[in-house]
Amino acid sequence: MNTDEGIGSQSDMSSVICGSTRSSSVAVEDSEASSASEVLHDCQVHGHQLLYLNYKGLTKFPAQLLQENAYQHIKGIYLKRNLLQTLPTNLKTLTNLKELYLPSNKIIDLPDDMSELTQLESLDLSMNSLQHIPSCVFGIKSLKSLILSQNSIAHLSSEIGKMRALMTLVLNHNLLTSLPSEIQHCSSLETLNLDKNFLKVLPRQITLLHRLEELSVTGNKLVYLPMDLGYCPSLQKVYADNNPYLKAIPFSLWSKTVGTYSCGTETICDSGLYAEFKEANMSAYIPHEIQSIRSKNSSPVSTLLEISYRYVNKQQGILKIESLPRSVREQAVTATAHCEFHGCSRQLFTGCYPHLLKHPITTLQQPNSTTFIGLCCSLKCLDLFSRFPLPL
């Protein structure tokens, strides 16, 4: 799950990324007694591929690293707990650099040409002074791991969608209130950590991350999770503990490992912003796209808006869908949910028949007996799902 323990083990992650070189470079792991110049000299003389300059009190990146091509062989640079505020503009001379480890500095920005580090796979900027993610980071096409925990980042740019090779994204302990829908284009993403931010919802486009294995969103202000989240084919673990407004989780997650400790402990005062559905002694908040919460007393005829979205979705390969307003386009391309009755699976956009349940199997898997919510497209599917929530 994602917490600070995952961050603390980042140095262990380094050994995985540069594993082929670590065995010959252990000796270069400097003690605090070694000066930076001594470490640099030793690295140059012996050809070490990993350079350790942690805890050196450096206020500037060592200039000699970028001179005379003497350090082009370096694959990993570790600069934990120094006093750096930025990096030099010609880092691209380190043509073989794969890992740059910079936690616990004072970095507020990065040079634009850092995007030219064409071999860089891992970048750790945790515990710095970033208020935004420098645009150059989005241009590092080779980047597989990006650690940005414990900064002051309040906005995630839509440019995140450019990072097609990214496998691990850690943004815990920041100030995020939302995510851009473009995150769906991070097609290699396997681990997404967003703990301890201020997120109220996650974009439904997150369900298009087909390689996502672990999602951690503990300690936020989430009101609901994307209804189709459980249909991500690789997803195994969802940690959503300590979200006080999260009263129920999508039934699509019934077979996954889901953390829901201390969820649903509070009620939203201004319920006009969110539709709340109640059934028996249970309740849940419905995705804001849902404008029609239907019951057994409702008309069985779908609304014109729902029918329109279904048509646009079905004909999107023919229609000039890019000419539609962005909000309409995104809604039509990515449905809010699918009918939860396993024999139907029709797409749902703006209306549904909800059902809350505590199925015996899921109750066994969830020690705190989490409430699940399933959405259905019709009275018939609602009746069948209520009786047979799992495939026979």
Q: DSSP secondary structure string, 319-362?
A: S-GGGS-HHHHHHHHS-SEE-SSTTT--EESSEEEEEEE--HHH
Last residue of one domain, picked from the residues 198, 230, 256? 198
Residue 95: phi, psi to the nearest 5?
Answer: -70, -15
What kind and span of H or E run contains 386? Answer: helix 379-387
Residue 105 lies in a domain: yes
Same domain, 306 and 189: no
Query: Looking at residue 326, what is its pLDDT?
Result: 87
Query: Looking at residue 44, what is its pLDDT?
Result: 85
Last residue of one domain, picked from the residues 178, 198, 218? 198
Range of 297's domain?
Answer: 284-387
Radius of gyration of the chain from its Cα atoms, rounded to whole angstroms? 24
Paired tokens of 289: 């796209």
Same domain, 53 and 160: yes
Q: What is the amino acid identity at position 349?
A: F
pLDDT tens-digit series, residues 304-329:
999 999 999 999 888 888 888 888 88
Residue 270 lies in a domain: no
Could you give the CA distance from residue 347 to residue 308 in angstroms, rounded to a whole number? 12
Render 71-123 in DSSP notation, one character per residue.
Answer: TTT--EEE--S---S---TTGGG-TT--EEE--SS------GGGGG-TT--EE
Same domain, 293 and 183: no
The answer on pLDDT for 88 being more than 70 is: yes
Residue 215's pLDDT band (cuts 50, 70, 90)? very high
Do residues 76 and 85 lie in contact, with contact meaning Cβ atoms separated by under 8 Å? Answer: no
Do residues 208 and 186 lie in contact, with contact meaning Cβ atoms separated by under 8 Å? Answer: no
Strand, helix or coil at 64? helix
Query: Looking at residue 148, what is its pLDDT?
Result: 98
Residue 269 lies in a domain: no
Query: Looking at residue 166, what is its pLDDT?
Result: 98
Residue 82 per-residue DSSP state: -
Same domain, 193 and 291: no
Do residues 143 and 160 lie in contact, with contact meaning Cβ atoms separated by under 8 Å? Answer: no
User: What average pLDDT does this structure show over 333-352?
Assistant: 94
Same domain, 24 and 143: yes
The answer on pLDDT for 79 being more than 50 is: yes
Query: Looking at residue 333, what is its pLDDT?
Result: 92
Could you give the CA distance from residue 124 to residue 121 in angstroms, rounded to a whole number? 10
Strand, helix or coil at 215? strand
Number of domains in the chain: 2
Residue 244 lies in a domain: no
Do residues 207 and 228 lie in contact, with contact meaning Cβ atoms separated by under 8 Å? Answer: yes
Residue 16's pLDDT band (cuts 50, 70, 90)? very low
Cα–Cα nearest to 283, from 219, 356, 384: 356
Residue 232 lies in a domain: no
Residue 45 lies in a domain: yes
Same domain, 42 and 171: yes
Least confident of 18-22, 226-230, 243-247, 317-321: 18-22
Residue 281 per-residue DSSP state: T
Residue bearing tokens 């942690």: 54
- What count of other Cβ atoms lies within 10 Å of the Cβ of residue 118? 12
Could you give the CA distance from residue 198 to residue 193 in angstroms, rounded to a whole number? 13
Last residue of one domain, picked from the residues 130, 164, 198? 198
User: What average pLDDT does this structure show over 372-383?
Assistant: 94
Cα–Cα nearest to 86, from 119, 128, 35: 128
Q: Beta 347-348 vs 257-259: how paired, if at all?
A: unpaired
Task: Provide the CATH number for the domain around residue 88.
Answer: 3.80.10.10
The answer on pLDDT for 8 being more than 60 is: no
User: What average pLDDT does this structure show over 228-236?
Assistant: 97
Residue 179's pLDDT band (cuts 50, 70, 90)? very high
Same domain, 303 and 181: no
- What count of other Cβ atoms lies within 10 Å of the Cβ of residue 130? 20
Same domain, 33 and 148: yes
Query: Looking at residue 327, what is its pLDDT?
Result: 85
Same domain, 289 and 187: no
pTM for this one? 0.88
Query: Looking at residue 317, what is its pLDDT?
Result: 85
Handedness of CA 170, 266, 353, 280 (dihedral sign): positive
Paired tokens of 9: 């083990």
Residue 262 lies in a domain: no
User: What average pLDDT does this structure show over 379-388?
Assistant: 93
